[in-house]
A and B are shown apart, each in its own frame.
Chain A
Amino acid sequence: MDVEIRIQDTPLQPWSEMPPVHAGRPSVGGVVSFVGLMRDSNQGDAVAGMTLEHYPGMTEKALAQIVDEAGQRWQLEAVRVIHRVGELAPQDPIVLVAVASAHRGEAFQACEFIMDYLKTRAPFWKRERTAAGDARWVDARHSDDAAAAAWENGPES
């Protein structure tokens, strides 16, 4: 399994900036990719912008462990995870997870698994600025904890 993990403070352009994750891998039968975008509202308030902070060093380790665990659960050919930090505006891509596998089922499951674990285990924090001018740290969601926990005894290939 080939793994590429990147944290960047420059705009993420998941559809144009790099070769597709299956490039040069004729054994790949399917690629599933997820792109997370910044929304323009949260908890009923219009949001004008966001700053993403992380724990340099630990972030890369945590993501590598998550991808490694996905590679143990499913037969994967390649995984790419790219996550933004710094200043973001609504509609900016926050994260790309792309998984290439011989068969679609494994790619679909692994992509969702990586996102669910990233949401609860990778040390990133969002601070948003509302259109009204307030700044606030975004609270973690219980639904994210539940989604990650479901994999503990959940579906495997």
Chain B
Amino acid sequence: MIQVLYFASLRERLGRGDETLDQHPDTLAALRAQLAARGGAWHEVFAGDLRVLAAVNQEMAGEDGAIADGDEIGFFPPVTGG
């Protein structure tokens, strides 16, 4: 089981801020593909031209980032603080 969080414009596009997934793949790239397969806004966000960053357990992670049971995954657009 993993916790997945969506922030800012992604949360608005997807219509939710978080969810729990009982079944999950073991890399970020595969998780993106799984989410994109939901179609609609999910496909636009995870298989489109948008730049979507990811964090595993609150650390920035690349496409090959590994996912393990109990992890917290965050997806978000490029940051705009400061």
Contacts and interface: CB of A to CB of B under 8 A. Distances in A.
Interface of A: 36, 52-55, 57-58, 61-62, 83, 94-95, 115, 118-127, 137-140
Nearest to B55: A58
Contact of B8 (A53, A83, A115): A53
A126 B58 contact: no
Contact of A137 (B9, B55, B81, B82): B9
B80 A125 contact: yes
A122 B82 CA distance: 9
Contacts of B78: 120, 139-140
Given A58-B58, A61-B59, A119 B76 contact: no
B81 A95 contact: yes
B79 A120 contact: yes
Nearest to B57: A58
B55 A83 contact: no
A119 B78 CA distance: 10
Contacts of A62: 58, 60
A36 B82 CA distance: 6
Contacts of B55: 55, 58, 123
B20 to A, nearest CB: 17
Contacts of A139: 78, 80
Contacts of B82: 36, 83, 94-95, 115, 118-119, 122, 124
A124 B81 contact: yes
Given A125-B9, A127-B8, A137-B9, A119 B74 contact: no
18 contacts: A54-B81, A55-B5, A55-B7, A55-B76, A58-B58, A58-B59, A62-B58, A83-B81, A115-B82, A119-B80, A123-B7, A123-B74, A124-B82, A126-B80, A127-B8, A137-B77, A137-B80, A140-B79
Contacts of A140: 77-80
A125 B59 contact: no
